[in-house]
Structure 1
Amino acid sequence: MNKKILQTLEFNKIKKMLEQYLVTQTGKELAETLTPMNQLDKVEEALLETEDGFDILRLKGGLPIAKLENVKPHMKRIEIGAVLNGVELAQVGRLLKTVTEMQRFFEKLESEEVELHTLYEWNEKLIALPDLSKQIRLSIDEDGYVTDDASSELKSLRVQIRRQEQNIKELLDGFIRGKNSQLLSDTIITMRNDRYVIPVKSEYRSHFGGVVHDQSASGQTVFVEPRQAVELNNKLRQHQINERKEIERILAELSNELAPYRLDILQNAFVVGKLDFINAKARLGKALKAVVPTVSAEKHVNLIQARHPLIDENQVVANDIFIGEKHQTVIITGPNTGGKTITLKTLGLLQLMGQAGLPIPAGEESTIGVFSEIYADIGDEQSIEQNLSTFSSHMTNIVSILKDMDKDSLVLFDELGAGTDPQEGAALAISILDEVGSVGSYVMATTHYPELKVYAYNRPGTINASMEFDIDTLSPTYRLLMGIPGRSNAFDISQRLGLSSPIITRAKQIIDGESQDLNDMILDLENQRKMTETEYLEAREFFAEAEKLHRELKEAQQYFFEEREKEMNKAKSKANDIVEKAEHRAEGIIKDIRELQLRSQDSIKVKEHELIDVKGQLANLKHEETQQLGKNKVLQKAKEKKVLKPGDDVMVESFGQRGTLITKMGNKEWQVQMGILKMTIAEDQLTKIAPEKEEKVRITGLKSDGGGGRQTVTSQLDLRGKRYEEAVADLDQYIDSALLNGYPQVTIVHGRGTGAIKQGVQEYLKRHSQVKKYEYAPSNQGGDGATIVTFK
């Protein structure tokens, strides 16, 4: 795609917007090199990736990608045998950790049977290096500091250093707190040249012996290392040198460990960057309220309610724009400042975005084409340096376009033929459009010339369009009207502004009849369009009302039959109770008869089969109860919706989550608390359910109300706002309590913040022997701001 069109339509500003959502350096590099493509299969593949990103953003809140630096220079240094420093190794370790997290994330998506077009294939290109990742994690912290666990030798040296520092401080503390304190400028211990010293008044510099390392700017204070501390400082210095050597050895060893995996690490960096780029496209689309368009191989462009992405969404007017299926040429007419140029730019920029694989700010089912090139002659490009007039500048650009275009090009002309004599300009415009049409290019042009309205009306494959103008307010509406040419509003505007009728009448007599007929035709078309639009809106309203009545009738009918069934079941149930009581009494009577039989001396006895028949007849009196009512969800929803009230427990059907009603927001909406989220949900998405019995256990050992007693522990711990050490201590105590009371699963709310507490929580859970697994909460329960822990 030519660079001029990218500059003219401000495509680079879209790239800048995209970069805001990128967290990896590789992803930013991909965004910097992003350009529209002109191959159908590549455009479709890029848009499918964006669609996957949208699905993951909707279901999981996005991909869990940490902020990553560029590791390419590090791998280049590894290739030549250099040693990486702690910060560089930490950056590599962070990349390897992200790879592991991404693989777990996609494994979970697969287990949940989430369908994706291409991202599973990208995940397969990630190469996990768990041993190397673990070794770096144990040796280097997030800031690049080499930890005590990197080696036993380093740990031992640091213990000696701390012990030696303590000895020196204790010695010097005796000087600053003893009888010699009056000789000091200040009672503090400080450091000069990596050695512990004390500030001594200049006149007493020789009192303590030892070495003077520095003096103050005024010269009144010298920093002295007393002779008693020299040997201790020497030993400390030696330990520090040994520590530095051990650190260098560890860094060299880790760097050597990376060497065999250099290409794998580079591949991981690229794949993670690609996934970050896809995630950023989805996040940009969400911010722009954009969609992933369909691609037409036949270049049928149909943008539904298209909006220019660089105009404030509260000010931009959405328009339906189409070109390519029945009409290869669109000619837009209308007054200045009516929005013609913005319409051209919207078409061009959305095409560039779509061909670059980005979502476009338009309605669902919008379609783009794939053009080999997009050319534009937009705006006043008068060149003072080249001494070209506005007309000459436009014509130079148009000549270049006509030379380079082909049948797969999209051409945008703004004010075609302007800047010269109107009659000549109109003739040139028609001739240029004929040339573009003969090549087969697709073209959208704006113009003031009435001749082009007639041209568009008579030429096959060409359609008129205009920008609507409100005569009553004397202002444009910025609405694009396809199929209707713009008309001159000069007479109407003049009359509205108070120009006398005789003057307007004489003016109308001056213009030729053909122009007046054209304006009358346009006015008639506009009136017909408004009439048709009004009838359409009325028909839609009637249809919606009829649909509502039909739905209510069906619900009422269903309710009637089910209520009748319910009453019948009640009657049958009551009858069954009566029969059961009768059966019970009959059993007693039959038992008495049998006993009388056994004792009877008469020859006539009641036969057994007769007793069985009597019992069977009694049993047959019982009705068979039906359970249709209990199974009918339609009735349940209809009835339960009528009795919703604040505090009720409900099932949010659209999310499949439990929630609690807080307050009614309108006739059809409720504010619902779902976990830590509050959302406004439509009433038809809510089903009343039985309250959930919250499991509460009483445990000891936590801070109580002062009585030393027991406190209730719920299944959620909130660590937000706490310091790191306090949060880890609370987590440790809470996990023990939860395990003691048999919780199978708990939720730890740590927030996002700087990520320190979240990292600390997951490091603790990783080491705990009773933790079976842990994972981020679903997006509707906090996402990566909370972790769900499952115990063994």
Structure 2
Amino acid sequence: MQDIIKKLDLTEYLETFQELFSRRKNIILEGDINLHYKLINELSKYDFTAPKQVANLDKCLVHIQKQGVLKLDDIYEFTKIIRYFLYLKKFNFEGKLKEWIDKIVIPDDILSLDDFFDSKGNLKEGVDDDFDNIQNAIYKNKELIRQNLHKTINSSKLKPYLVDSQVHLVNDQEAILVRGGFNHVLKATVIHRSNSGFFYIVPHSISELKQKRSDLINKQEEIVLKLCKQISTMFEKHLLFLKFVNKEFDRFDHYQARLFFAKADDKNFLIPSKKNSCKLIDFKHPALRGAKPINVDFSKSVIMITGVNAGGKTMMLKSILASVFMSKYLIPYYADKSSQIGNFKNILAVLDDPQSVKNDISTFAGRMVEFSTLFTQRNAIVGVDEIELGTDSDEAASLFKVIIEELIKKDIKIIITTHHKRLAALLASNDDVELIAALYDEANQRPTYDFLQGTIGKSYAFETASRYGIPHNIVKLAKKVYGEDKDKLNELIERSSDLEREYKQKIQKLDEELEKTKRLQRGLKDQRESLDELIYSEKSKLQKEYKDARDEAKKAIKAKIYQEGHRHLNTAHSKASNIKTEKVKEHEDLKVGDRVKYRSSKGILVSIKGKQAFFENDSGMKMKVPLEELSRSGNIPKPQVKQKATVTVSKPESGHVTLDLHGQRADEAIENLDKFLSDALIAGFDEVLVYHGIGTGKLSFAVKTFLDKHPKIKGYTDAHPSQGGFGAKIIKL
């Protein structure tokens, strides 16, 4: 990881971030990145203090496991962690943050340590009476030494030999600085000699007091050792909890460091999306001071960056890779929140010259070795600086064109920088390749550090050489040697690539318009045929009904009886009044995607096939209906709030990591064990301890059989003799 960090110029930035940790650790935060971000986001709503510096306790945990005795300083480091979680529990957290902090249940034995130490890690008064008595005796001894020294310094006999009237601390001993001949008036031991030839002495009377203090300190150490043994034994019983709380402290340490790092300079968290497309908006590489924000859309498989020398091509490449790297590991950085970052398994950078004299490998051969490893990668993003480095550019262009097209098939995204336009021209027509040009201000003869997507840029090698001090006459001669024909050829390549992409876009747009016109023509033809059929049907219907009415009228005229004639007229009148014509209406110009109405339902027109249409109503039901029965509807339905299904997993009532199955039947014990393991998994424990005893061995066999079949058990071993030995199991979840 350090290699990619160095290549992307992120070393200083990440070192600044790591300084916010309470103890040094890797920047990787393992687990669900979305859950971590949610907890960090919830934590940002509270005003809390960062934890103090805490030592790494991995070796101490191993020492406890081996029944070792911790030092008082090590015990205090554990106490600092416990105190900080007690501090966090005072906050009224909500949501996931509350669930997480609540599951850290501190045993009473360990809670009592909070009363053992003061803020500096010294034992408080009242923890042990013998310790307090010796502490008072040591204090009195120090006072006697101080008084004795001042009495000796103020002695009239010693004054002629005194260099000064101060008490000096030499080799952790209080001493007096005197001249030679002092032994005539004072019995003392010389412990050091000054550069001026004077002597640092300790009076014999003081030596006796110091010996007494030394004896007191030894007794005090014995009491401390006894206390450390008691606490270490208690720690051994709660070893699983100590491992758990130590890991959870590191997790919180990751959260608080990221949160304070983001707040320091208004940085943003950008969570990788499931899609592999990248879109950077106003990104600033942290290694640059006062840099122009970068905007780039990396939706395609390949970005090829061409253009002016020293125009920011390499930094553009590093910026894209750096944003992916920092998002992958949840490191905040300078970019707009609307940016989108892909999620990649691997991040690779081919930036340096791989030439090696020791391995007898050339630049190009080294590049081939690096590229050969890419064919084994999946879901990776790769940056290649100066891709044609080390060989003939024309041959390299043909080779790398084929290599890049093959890597695209393997779900690999590639960012490439190059000065040679042949490769860019070969890949310009590929739909998976995005061209980007670093721009140059010809009027002021300097790069603008801006980028333009969709085109090939000139290198401006001669202009760059002049800008960096190459004499004008040499540059002019180089242009002459280079020749106007090659310069024009480069311009032609750039122009043709632009035209090709422009024409391709226009052709695509014309194809879309042509297809739309064809659909309209097919729709009009179907409507005309439908109208013709309807008119013919209505005409036939009218003719038949008219004939029936006329026949009834004739019968009425021919009838001799008045009443019967009247009856026929009534029948004719009734038939005539029942003749109804259907209004023939032309179909509206409906197209796929329009909002339409079918009877009392409203929805979206999904597709049209001849006289039939597929219609999806606002309730989500799809149906096939006659096209003629649809009418346009501009009403947009009110959004319906869908009820989200929630699954609630209850948190275990107990925070213990041990279970005692003694005296239980096998079936009863297995049922209790199953529930206990489920609670432990929900609580987030890595290890638990289960007592089953030895006895006849039936219960032990039942427990082993159950654990062998349990899908969430990583493994289990017999416990340490101090924790039950063969009668207990340490289970790893």
Q: TM-score, normalised by structure 2?
A: 0.57
- Residue 157 of structure 1 contacts residue 243 of structure 1 at CA under 8 Å; is this kept in 2? yes
SS of the residue 1:60 aligns to: coil
SS of the residue 1:149 aligns to: coil
Provide the residue aligned with 1:284 in structure 2.
261
Note if 1:480 corresponds to 2:459: no
Which runs of structure 2 are paired with 1:713-792 in the superposition (5 Å)? none
SS of the residue 1:364 aligns to: coil
Which runs of structure 2 are paired with 1:451-600 in the superposition (5 Å)? 451-487=422-458, 510-511=485-486, 516-520=491-495
- 2: distance between equivalents of 1:225 and 1:64? 51
Provide the residue aligned with 1:100 in structure 2.
86
- 1: distance between equivalents of 2:2 and 2:415? 20
Provide the residue aligned with 1:259 in structure 2.
236
Provide the residue aligned with 1:338 in structure 2.
311
- Residue 381 of structure 1 contacts residue 390 of structure 1 at CA under 8 Å; is this kept in 2? yes
Q: Which amino acid aligns with 2:239?
A: R
Note if 1:405 corresponds to 2:377: yes
Deviation of 1:404 after TM superposition, in Å, equals 1.9
- Residue 456 of structure 1 contacts residue 463 of structure 1 at CA under 8 Å; is this kept in 2? no
Which runs of structure 2 are paired with 1:368-387 in the superposition (5 Å)? 368-387=341-360
- 2: distance between equivalents of 1:194 and 1:431? 75
Provide the residue aligned with 2:204 in structure 1.
225
Residues 266 and 278 of structure 1, relative CA distance in 2, 3 Å threshold: same
Deviation of 1:195 after TM superposition, in Å, equals 9.7
Deviation of 1:97 after TM superposition, in Å, equals 0.8
Provide the residue aligned with 2:394 in structure 1.
423
Deviation of 1:101 after TM superposition, in Å, equals 0.8
1:76-124 CA distances to partner (integer Å, 9 max, x unpaired)?
Answer: 333444433332232222221112112223xx233xxxx5xx5445424
Q: Which amino acid aligns with 1:127?
A: V
Note if 1:443 corresponds to 2:414: yes
1:125-146 CA distances to partner (integer Å, 9 max, x unpaired)?
Answer: 433356644x434433344433
Q: Which amino acid aligns with 2:340?
A: T
SS of the residue 1:29 aligns to: coil
- 2: distance between equivalents of 1:122 and 1:151? 36
Name whichever of 7-16 and 460-469 sits farther off: 7-16
SS of the residue 1:375 aligns to: strand
- Residue 306 of structure 2 contacts residue 459 of structure 2 at CA under 8 Å; is this kept in 1? no
Q: Which amino acid aligns with 2:321?
A: G
- Residue 99 of structure 1 contacts residue 128 of structure 1 at CA under 8 Å; is this kept in 2? no
1:767-790 CA distances to partner (integer Å, 9 max, x unpaired)?
Answer: xxxxxxxxxxxxxxxxxxxxxxxx
Residues 444 and 241 of structure 1, relative CA distance in 2, 3 Å threshold: closer
- Residue 190 of structure 2 contacts residue 199 of structure 2 at CA under 8 Å; is this kept in 1? no
Residues 230 and 263 of structure 1, relative CA distance in 2, 3 Å threshold: same
Q: For structure 2, which runs of at least 5 residues remain unmatched after alignment?
A: 504-733
Provide the residue aligned with 1:322 in structure 2.
297
SS of the residue 1:311 aligns to: coil
- Residue 125 of structure 1 contacts residue 271 of structure 1 at CA under 8 Å; is this kept in 2? no
Deviation of 1:276 after TM superposition, in Å, equals 1.0
Deviation of 1:164 after TM superposition, in Å, equals 5.6
Deviation of 1:400 after TM superposition, in Å, equals 3.0
The match for 1:308 among 277, 285, 288 is 285
SS of the residue 1:148 aligns to: coil
The match for 2:93 among 103, 109, 129 is 109
1:417-455 CA distances to partner (integer Å, 9 max, x unpaired)?
Answer: 344333323222322222223434322222233333433
Q: Which amino acid aligns with 2:230?
A: E
- Residue 176 of structure 1 contacts residue 184 of structure 1 at CA under 8 Å; is this kept in 2? no
Q: Which amino acid aligns with 2:105?
A: I
- Residue 77 of structure 1 contacts residue 83 of structure 1 at CA under 8 Å; is this kept in 2? yes
Note if 1:76 corresponds to 2:62: yes
- 1: distance between equivalents of 2:464 and 2:287? 32
- 2: distance between equivalents of 1:63 and 1:169? 42
SS of the residue 2:368 aligns to: helix
Q: Which amino acid aligns with 2:104?
A: L
Q: TM-score, normalised by structure 1?
A: 0.53
Name whichever of 519-528 and 120-129 sits farther off: 519-528
Q: Which amino acid aligns with 2:309?
A: N
- 2: distance between equivalents of 1:174 and 1:346? 73
- 1: distance between equivalents of 2:388 and 2:167? 84
Q: Which amino acid aligns with 1:350?
A: S
- Residue 468 of structure 1 contacts residue 481 of structure 1 at CA under 8 Å; is this kept in 2? yes
Larger Rg over CA atoms: 2
- Residue 50 of structure 1 contacts residue 359 of structure 1 at CA under 8 Å; is this kept in 2? no
SS of the residue 2:272 aligns to: strand
Residues 199 and 493 of structure 1, relative CA distance in 2, 3 Å threshold: closer
- 1: distance between equivalents of 2:352 and 2:191? 69
Which runs of structure 2 are paired with 1:572-651 in the superposition (5 Å)? none
Residues 91 and 336 of structure 1, relative CA distance in 2, 3 Å threshold: same
Provide the residue aligned with 2:20 in structure 1.
21
- 2: distance between equivalents of 1:513 and 1:431? 27
SS of the residue 1:434 aligns to: helix
Deviation of 1:161 after TM superposition, in Å, equals 4.5
Deviation of 1:162 after TM superposition, in Å, equals 4.2
Residues 220 and 199 of structure 1, relative CA distance in 2, 3 Å threshold: closer
Deviation of 1:336 after TM superposition, in Å, equals 1.9
- Residue 401 of structure 2 contacts residue 427 of structure 2 at CA under 8 Å; is this kept in 1? no
Deviation of 1:232 after TM superposition, in Å, equals 7.3
Which runs of structure 2 are paired with 1:391-402 in the superposition (5 Å)? 391-401=364-374
Q: How many residues align?
A: 494
